[in-house]
Amino acid sequence: MRAISTFYVEKNQINDKNITVIGDDVNHIKNVLRHRIGDKIDICDNEGSRYFTEVESFFDDRIILHILGKTSVTTEMKTCVTLYQGLPKADKLDLIVQKCTELGVAEIVPVITDRVIVKINDSNRVNKVERWKKIASEAAKQSGRQKIPVVQDIQKLENVVENLSKYDIVIVPYENECEHTLKTELRALNGNNQNIAVVIGPEGGFSDKDIEVLVRNSNVRLVSLGKRILRTETAGIATVAMIMYEYEL
Ligand code: SAM
């Protein structure tokens, strides 16, 4: 029995009887997955609903799916987690995007902090962000999510801190923090429908200036992730996993 494929559409592609698939998904459904009339396909509207459909008809530029049923039983975490990731070297962010998508993150923002050594220019930034968006979409499909995490453009830390006040809490795992831990800060939050930001430093960690800029926000909490120093790609994944453990399992 073949696993049922999941695709994501905009609301305006859905009416009360059927769903119209357009764009790259047409070729993927028709020629890569080689679906036929009558095959079952799951469709998510990126707003939390999942539609059970079957292929009704093929056209050159679109596919019509007949809606068999709908559910709003979600695979999304109640807690909304945004990961601000200090831009790491090489293709580490590919792994971070994939694993944090599986773990339920809602948004990923690549951030230039003091010790980021990756050189970004207008030509490579577009390609990088497009690649990360594709990885997020594929990981969302594989893990059966109802929403594809939003991958934002690469931003500077000083521009990011202006928006941190919108979160209930901003968790900053800081390698020099000795007193507070992730556990104590998460336990201090009552209830679990929280809007949480996580800020992870790059390979070189946070500079004193990064921390000074971050702690200007009263909702920022510096936390330790334990006695060992985790790689930057481990720290974000581990932190999102522990938030998932605390609020979802
Ligand atoms: N340059 C730092 C050092 O060698 O001490 C290591 C930075 S670590 C590779 C990258 C990021 O992961 C840190 O900035 C922090 O956000 C997080 N991190 C890693 N281990 C941590 C720990 N034990 N406690 C808190 N944060 C940690």
Cβ 213 vs Cβ 158: under 8 Å: yes
Cα–ligand 1 centroid distance for 123 (angstroms): 30
Cα–ligand 1 centroid distance for 233 (angstroms): 10
Cα–ligand 1 centroid distance for 135 (angstroms): 25
- Of 229, 233, 234, 240, the residue with max ligand 1 atoms within 8 A of its CB, to mutate for a pocket test, comes to 229
Contact 232 CB / ligand 1 (< 6 Å): yes
Separation CA 205–CA 199 (nearest Å):
11
> For 116-137, what is each residue's pLDDT tens digit?
999 888 888 999 999 999 999 9
Separation CA 62–CA 202 (nearest Å):
43
Sketch out the chain's domains with CATH numbers: 5-71 (2.40.240.20), 80-248 (3.40.1280.10)
> For 234-248, what is each residue's pLDDT tens digit?
999 999 999 999 988
Task: Note the maximum CA span of the chain.
Answer: 62
Which of 49, 56, 46, 52 is closest to 67 using CA atoms? 52
> For 43-80, what is each residue's pLDDT tens digit?
999 888 999 999 999 999 999 999 999 998 788 998 99
Separation CA 87–CA 92 (nearest Å):
9
Q: Left (φ > 0), alpha (ψ -120 to 50) or beta: where does 205 sit? A: left
Contact 247 CB / ligand 1 (< 6 Å): no
